[in-house]
Chain A
């Protein structure tokens, strides 16, 4: 009796340790295992892309990485995609060697959640130009980064350090007319970092729809 209890306890402990270890670098563990902080190493994760490949942040060491939180049905996201602005931004930086990961943390059944075939069609229709479109259905990566809105943008340096977190631009609005004259913080931070300059605006309050996590 005692032995079996001990054995179960040991198994539980081993499982817990495994979960913690997994939580540090995958989306399946405790979301609180690692949380993003500015100027700190960005939490590693691995998520499946709708292209069937697995994308792990740590595989992109040496490259700038942009994380873009996405929900294709959110008006603030539509503002950027309907106008082609997001696609142009993605194309511009992917061509410069930046890894641009578009992440959807909508829980199953929530707005923005679609099956893989639907997402393939929708991202093709919209000519999404990011490196990959990833699903984070359990929200673990969203929680690790504190992603609150769509869009919510994060820029990670080639050293794996979080160098920008926040809004996509300085004109909080769902109106495409407000794209004109807006300062794009992702563009600004990437350009400054690539030029070896200090990043003037490293964090802002993001704006948009709430990320549709499970309740």
Chain B
């Protein structure tokens, strides 16, 4: 069956793909961090419950010509979540429109690794607690010091608990321009932590993807490593919505690979009524036990031709 994907699916995939090439994902492990000192609290969007949006940066001042890291932070009231790029069975990904001064340029958003939320028989990909959607910002070398700049983002999201509520926020952050930039240690630490587990492209692993049959996609994993780690908790999150049965278990099986090594195959159930199969399979392959032994949860970027 050949059908056309939705426009948004394609658009998102393209945007996110570029993000992957740029190390586009990181795991958010922010819940354990202390709250920001009140003196450093940035502008907060008014009346943004059940989601609060704010704009934060890893610097306390901007140096002309020196890039810095800017992030939209979404903090969810307990029980609420927002979506990943591919929202899963329902929902919508948050969107950010940057309103930056002349000469400032924001890169692509790095989307942290999502969680899976069950709601009845449906599964949603997204974030609870809080999430930092961060970008690199290039600054103009000609910007005069001794001034300040206002950075603005117009953010929209869909917050869901049992019910869904769309929200928007215009968040801003004013930073001084100085000859040498000063770090904001609090937010630098949190932004760095959020980025620390960007999807990797581990040299020792190779992944091939193909259509198994009318109901399955197969991801074949091989390692060049002499010692194959035991993989646990492997799940493929496609970038495109409507490609897989999000609620179905994905099964990993080990089999003899070349040179006496172990190879793996992940079986992913295709959506029973899905979008047209893409020419390339894109997404992230998460392994809770890590792609190298003892590494802890890691995500691998998947962007491979989809064989038929």
Contact = CB atoms under 8 A, between A and B. Distances in A.
Interface of A: 35-39, 73-76, 107, 110-111, 139, 143, 146, 148-149, 162, 165-167, 170-175, 200-215
Interface in B114-152: 119-122, 124
Contact of B89 (A170, A200, A210): A210
Contact of A213 (B87, B120, B241, B275): B120
B92 to A, nearest CB: 6
B88 to A, nearest CB: 9
A148 B122 contact: yes
A213 B274 CA distance: 21
The residue in B158, B164, B166, B272 that gathers the most chain A C-beta atoms within 10 A of its C-beta is B164
B223 to A, nearest CB: 33
Interface of B: 1, 3-9, 87, 89-92, 119-122, 124, 158, 160, 162-166, 240-242, 272-275
27 contacts: A36-B272, A37-B273, A38-B3, A38-B273, A74-B163, A111-B162, A148-B89, A167-B6, A170-B8, A171-B8, A203-B3, A203-B242, A204-B3, A204-B4, A205-B240, A205-B242, A206-B242, A207-B6, A207-B92, A208-B90, A209-B164, A210-B89, A210-B122, A212-B162, A213-B119, A213-B120, A214-B120
Contact of B165 (A75, A139, A149, A175): A75
Contacts of A39: 1
A148 B160 CA distance: 14
Contacts of A146: 272-273
Contacts of B6: 166-167, 170, 172, 204-205, 207
B274 A203 contact: yes
Given A211-B120, A213-B122, A175 B166 contact: yes
Contacts of A166: 6, 242, 273
Nearest to B87: A207
- Most chain B C-beta atoms within 10 Å of own C-beta, residue among A76, A209, A212, A214: A209
A213 B90 CA distance: 13
Contact of A209 (B5, B7, B8, B160): B160
A174 B273 CA distance: 23
Given A211-B122, A213-B121, A215-B120, A204 B162 contact: no
A76 B91 CA distance: 10
Q: Most chain-B CB neighbours within 10 Å: which of A35, A73, A215?
A: A215
B273 A210 contact: no
B153 to A, nearest CB: 18
B89 A149 contact: yes
A148 B120 CA distance: 10
Given A35-B272, A211-B90, 9 more contacts: A37-B272, A73-B163, A75-B164, A146-B273, A171-B8, A201-B4, A209-B91, A210-B91, A210-B164
A200 B4 contact: yes
A157 to B, nearest CB: 15
Contacts of B122: 148, 210-211, 213
Contact of A148 (B5, B8, B90): B90
A149 B163 contact: no
A210 B119 contact: yes
Contacts of A76: 164
A110 B240 CA distance: 29
Contact of A165 (B87, B92, B240, B273): B273
B241 A210 contact: no
Given A200-B4, A202-B3, A210 B274 contact: no
A204 B89 contact: no
Contacts of A75: 158, 164-166
A111 B166 contact: no
B141 to A, nearest CB: 38
Given A171-B8, A213-B122, A215-B120, A203 B275 contact: yes
